[in-house]
A and B are shown apart, each in its own frame.
Chain A
Amino acid sequence: MSLFSFVSIGNADVNFAGKTVTWVVPFKEGGGTSRFARFIQPFLKKYLPGNPDVQIMHIPGGGAIKGSNYFEKNAKADGTFIFGCSTSVIVNVATGNPLVKYNLSEYRPVVLLPQNTHWFTRSDLAEPHDLSKIKERKLVLYALKTPASADLFHIWIYEKLGIKGAKPIPGLSSSGGYQAFLRGEIHLSSHGAANYVKKVKPEIEKGKVVDLMTLGIIGADGSVSRNPLAPNAPTFPEMYEKVNGKKLEGDDLEAYYAIGAAWSQASKAMMLPADASDEIVKAYRDAAIKMTNDPEFKAKAVKALGPFPLIIGEEAGEIIKKAAVFSDTTKNQLNAALKKHKFTYRVQ
């Protein structure tokens, strides 16, 4: 009780008592961002000053652009509107989609939920953690949803690892791609952490599938550490060094950080509008910190959200800026990869 009274003094101006907070999610119900929002929702009500009702408003459509534009146009800065962001929302901005009307890089992030990508192949195609046999193959097929999505980064990754036979098969979702992979129709496959644990780990244990690498976990200082779910698998920078004989640096490192920010660090995010005041941002961040200390949250978070700790605070803002604003050299690198595979789509 004493903690509560302290908070309400600390944020004298910010009180949401009797108000309703609208959480705009630019996706369908049941998707990852919706599940993320629904998991956080009760804790937000519990820890925001004044315990406001939090309602989730799904506005799917236009590849997440419709809901995002809606938020930009309608969100009030008084803390009663928050935004559920995800990699695709960021990629829309980073790749310069002309329909985007939201100014994401100026938004005030409260919480980021990181993810990580695992790459793997069939055990008859390669040794674990070793790309050499894959690189010898003439044809290495992999799934690619569309070049305008975050899957675009796969093209860049395979390009930088010198897999000459890599050829994307378009229009495959990650789950459809994984099925085709199990049927032996495609050679390389990848999954996020949750599906990796659920679907890929059992196949690895059966000896049918082997780990290749992970994207790696990028720390606040730019260091990259291995993914605790596959601690023996090298990270992308390690693999890059092994394959190319030199450290990942320069333009390639810059592109990796940008891709890592969009794809991994800011995989899901909760944000306030750009013009939200510092007091409101602080009230939200305080609530988020209290949430992470809640025993119920601790008990359920790993199962619901994955093993990677939430990123809260100023650091989150830096990551979003990095993820949403690609430098020209990064864009050129991505476009070169797109051009090589004869895609007409270009990052703007």
Chain B
Amino acid sequence: MEQLLAALFQLFEPTHLAFLFAGTLLGLIVGILPGMGGTSGLALVLPFVFTMEPSHALAMMIGVLAPTTTSDTFPAVLMGVPGTAGSQATVMDGFPLSKKGMAARALSAAFSASLLGGIFGAFILSISIYYAIPIIMAFGFGEQFLLVVLALLMVGALTGDNLFKGIASCFLGLIIGSIGTAPITGDPRYTFNTLYLLEGVPLVVVGLGLFAIPEIVGLLDAKGSIAKSLNTKKGWFTGLKDVVKNWFLVLRCSTLGCLVGALPGLGGTVVDWIAYSHLKQTTKDTSQFGKGDIRGVIAPESANNAKEGGALIPTLIFGIPGSGNKVLLLGGFVLIGIEPGLDMVTTNLDLTYLMIWSLAIANILGAGICMGFSSQISKFTLVPYYILAPVMVCLIFFATFNINRDWYDFIGLLSFGILGITFKNFGWSRPALLIGFFLSSKVELLSYQTQAVYGLSFLSRPVSIILIILCLATIVLLTKQKFDNNYRSDLIKGKLTQIYYIVILLCLPLSMIWFTSSLDYRANLFPISLSVIALSLLVFILIIKIADLKNLPFLNNTLMKFARSNIFEISGNFNNQLFYYLSFIGFLLMNFIFGFPIAAALFINMFILFHNRKAYVSSICISAVLMLILWSLSSLLTLQFPNGLIGLLIDLPWWLGGQMN
């Protein structure tokens, strides 16, 4: 109790509040930009937070995470595009409300439901922390191993459009995560004798590549469905009244969100749908759903913000991410030297409470700003994407370089970028890949540790049995809800590309087996087993795909229908997205030649002018403002710009990409 209050006082120190506030603002902006969510936002700030004091960094990171699911309602309601994966269900009724001229009512209901959900989540989190010690002590290696494996299975099964593609994504992530030094023997695996891969691919590179880049090209491709008119003036009070009237719904959905969030690995992508279907099942009159029922906004919004608190429970006490963006948060913990586990509820309890308070206050701040400045903020949705995109690409490059000041990170970024673009387009699961990647070393180590301490007897321990039952029940329950929709194979074009794509994916496990087969069995057992499983999954998917293409009759029984659903998937124009992706490679080359500052200014101007020749005033202003921000950031945090070939030949000042010092 004492620490709870001490943490509150610490948070209210001006510097802490300032970092929390800065984080919250950033989180709000990230949430508004369609597609960008907490994962991309956190990946962007991670390279910078670790120069800060741990408590400041924590306040900032929580600040970024907390309000994204609040502000993502703006695009969901105004444009009918989910701002993050967590507000897909909000679109169902939010957008129709907005079309009826009730945008303000929908927004205010969403913000207040979101606020209540967020606070509820923080409250549950602080209670669970209180009881965490016996739980941690009850979870030995065996239970932790099961928890991780089951988490991976759930993520794979539930975040993909197709069960098998989701699980395969998970295994591909695990394989990529096993690149680097083998933990048991110290043998380098799949490193091609480079120092870069010895510690594996940096998490931030994977996060930015998988999440930020595909969203940027996706929205460039969609050309941003810009809201035409913004009627957000009237109806604020009605929205508030709606929430008060439906207080029990808010409470139920918050509880639901918290529970689903606390299931390791889940969250983000499913929780809003679960809340929405709960609402449908418990309501008598469902006639207005999908046409603008305010309850359809309240339910998912309270759930998707409550999940943040719930998702922090497994994150803090086991180091197992409660949702995709918690992977990045855990990455941030590592950077600032915090190890999840027992310490979080004993010696580092003050930091834990600091996070809980930050979460609560960031929620209040976020919802407050959203309500108070809604008409200003909603104008963000009017900014054309061809202006935002190059700025975001520059920020991503700047962040990437400052992870390790290593040019190889750009290659990593762009490789994971194209992986993310194809995953998104062809209906594979990016969260599953990310979580698999992150948990890979944990799975490997826990399997050895469990084997050394228990052998196979861990499976018969009571907690293990409960875990297995819980996991299977969740998967069965949730897959039924998720895969009921009808898959129309005949609507999809370019199926051959997706079949070739599998062949490319097959190269990863095959080459992993090839390169690690000569190592000691304790170094290659894990990657080779993963690769064999991944190979069988991929081949199975390939067979189903070919069968679907040829429309073979054996696909028509119930079980096969399930395997077939969403086996092909296409969103947007893939070639178009590839074109934008190539322009990023062009930007990398410009960086290599001119150094970052000149390349960034050139890129922004070229990109904007390519889309709109008359916008030169804004393009010049935007590039100037961005560079001013980056310059002040650099001198504040002693960061460095990538210096190109020119910087090697001529002695440039640091702000043009020369050496600092």
Give A contacts to B, CB under 8 Å.
20, 22, 28-31, 34, 55, 57-63, 65-66, 99, 141, 146-148, 167, 169-173, 175-176, 179-180, 182-183, 185-186, 198-199, 343-345
Q: How many A-B residue pairs have CB under 8 A?
A: 103
A109 to chain B, nearest CB (A): 24
**Is B341 a contact of A179 with CB atoms below 8 Å?**
yes
In the complex the two chains form, is A198's CB within 8 Å of B335's CB?
Answer: no
Residues of B within 8 A of A141 (CB): 452-453
B351–chain A nearest beta-carbon distance, Å: 12
Scan residues 499-527 of chain B and give those whose CB is less than 8 A from a CB of chain A.
Answer: 520, 522-523
With A30-B50, A185-B140 already in contact, the answer to whether A99 and B183 are too (CB < 8 A) is no
**Residue numbers in B under 8 Å from A186 (CB-CB):** 453
Is A66's CB under 8 angstroms from B195's CB?
Answer: yes
Bound-state CA distance A63–B342 (Å) is 26
| B137 (CB) vs chain A CBs: closest residue | A183
Is there contact, CB below 8 Å, between B342 and A182?
A: yes
Set A20, A28, A170: member contacting B335, Cβ < 8 A: A28
Also in contact, A172 and B449, with CB within 8 A (given A28-B334, A29-B336) = yes
State in angstroms the CA–CA spacing of A175 and B347 once bound together. Answer: 12
CA distance A270 to B495 in the complex (A): 61
Closest to A346 in B: B186
> Which chain B residues have a beta carbon within 8 Å of chain A's beta carbons?
50-51, 54, 136-137, 140-141, 181, 183-187, 195, 198-199, 334-339, 341-343, 346-347, 404-406, 441, 444-445, 448-449, 452-453, 520, 522-523, 638, 661
A180: B residues at CB distance < 8 A: 140-141, 449
Q: Is the CB of B449 within 8 A of A171?
A: yes
Q: Are A179 and B136 in contact (CB under 8 A)?
A: yes
Query: A180 to B139, alpha carbons, bound, how many Å?
Result: 9
- Is there an interface contact between A175 and B343, defined as CB atoms closer than 8 Å? yes
Asked whether A65 and B195 contact (CB < 8 A) given A29-B336, A176-B341, the answer is yes
Q: A28-B50, A28-B335 are in contact. Are A171 and B184 (CB under 8 A)?
A: yes
**Is B405 a contact partner of A59 (Cβ separation < 8 A)?**
yes
A55 & B638 in contact (Cβ 8 Å cutoff): yes
| Docked complex Cα distance between A182 and B345 (Å) | 14
Query: B343's closest neighbor in chain A, by CB?
Result: A175
Residue pair B445, A171 in contact (C-beta under 8 Å): yes
Partner of A29, one of B335, B404, B444, B452: B335
The smallest C-beta distance from A16 to any residue of chain B, in angstroms, reads 13
B187 CB contacts on chain A under 8 angstroms: 344
Smallest CB separation, A158 vs chain B (Å): 15
What chain B residues lie within 8 Å of A65 (beta carbons)?
195
Are the CB atoms of A170 and B199 closer together than 8 Å?
A: no
Cross-chain contact B445 with A170 (CB below 8 angstroms)? yes
CB of A32 to closest CB in B, whole Å: 9
Find A61's partner among B404, B452, B522 (CB 8 Å cutoff): B404
Kindly provide the distance from the CB of A92 to the nearest chain B CB, expressed in whole angstroms.
Answer: 12
A66 to B197 CA separation, bound complex (whole angstroms):
12
A35 to chain B, nearest CB (A): 8
User: Which residues of chain B come closer than 8 Å to A176, judged between CB atoms?
Assistant: 339, 341
Instruction: Find A170's partner among B181, B183, B198, B334 (CB 8 Å cutoff).
Output: B183
In the assembly, what is the distance between CA of A67 and CA of B343, in Å? 29
A residues near B453, Cβ cutoff 8 Å:
141, 169, 185-186
A30 near B452 with CB under 8 A, answer no
A132 to B302, CA, bound (A): 60
A175 pairs with B341, CB closer than 8 A: yes
A119 to chain B, nearest CB (A): 20
Known contacts being A29-B50, A29-B335, A30-B54, is A62 close to B183, with CB within 8 Å?
A: no
Residues in B with CB closer than 8 Å to A62 are 195, 198-199
Interfacial chain B residues near A147, Cβ < 8 Å: 185-186
Complex: A199 Cα to B339 Cα, angstroms: 14
Are A29 and B185 CB-contacts (below 8 A) given A55-B638, A61-B199?
Answer: no
* Known A-B contacts A171-B449, A180-B140; A20 and B661 likewise in contact (beta carbons under 8 Å): yes
B441 CB contacts on chain A under 8 angstroms: 171
Q: Which residues of chain B are near A148, meaning CB under 8 Å?
A: 181, 186
The residues of A that contact B339 with a CB separation of less than 8 Å are: 173, 175-176
Determine the residue in chain A with the shortest Cβ distance to B143: A183
Evaluate contact between B449 and A29: CB separation under 8 angstroms: no
List 7 extra interface pairs beyond A99-B195, A171-B441, CB under 8 A. Answer: A29-B51, A29-B337, A61-B198, A63-B198, A141-B452, A169-B448, A171-B448
CA distance A188 to B357 in the complex (A): 38
Contact A63 B337, beta carbon cutoff 8 Å: no
Closest to B447 in A: A171
List chain A residues, Cβ under 8 A from B337.
28-31, 34
Q: How far is the CB of B194 from chain A (nearest CB, A)?
A: 10
When the two chains form the complex, which single residue of A31, A58, A167, A183 contacts B452, counting CB atoms closer than 8 Å?
A: A167
Q: How far is the CA of A62 from the CA of B339 in the complex (A)?
A: 20
Distance (whole angstroms) from the CB of A192 to the closest CB of chain B = 14
Contact, CB under 8 Å: B342 / A179 = yes
Q: Please give the distance in Å from A167's CB to the nearest CB on chain B.
A: 7
**A169 to B140 Cα, complex, angstroms:** 13
Which residues of chain B are within 8 angstroms of A63 by Cβ–Cβ distance?
A: 181, 198-199
26 contacts between A and B (CB under 8 A): A22-B661, A28-B335, A28-B337, A29-B335, A30-B50, A30-B336, A30-B338, A31-B337, A57-B638, A59-B405, A61-B195, A61-B199, A61-B406, A148-B186, A167-B452, A169-B449, A171-B183, A171-B444, A171-B445, A172-B449, A175-B341, A175-B342, A182-B342, A183-B137, A185-B141, A345-B186
Inter-chain CA distance A55–B347, complex, in Å, is 30
The CA-CA distance from A343 to B186 in the complex, in Å, is: 9
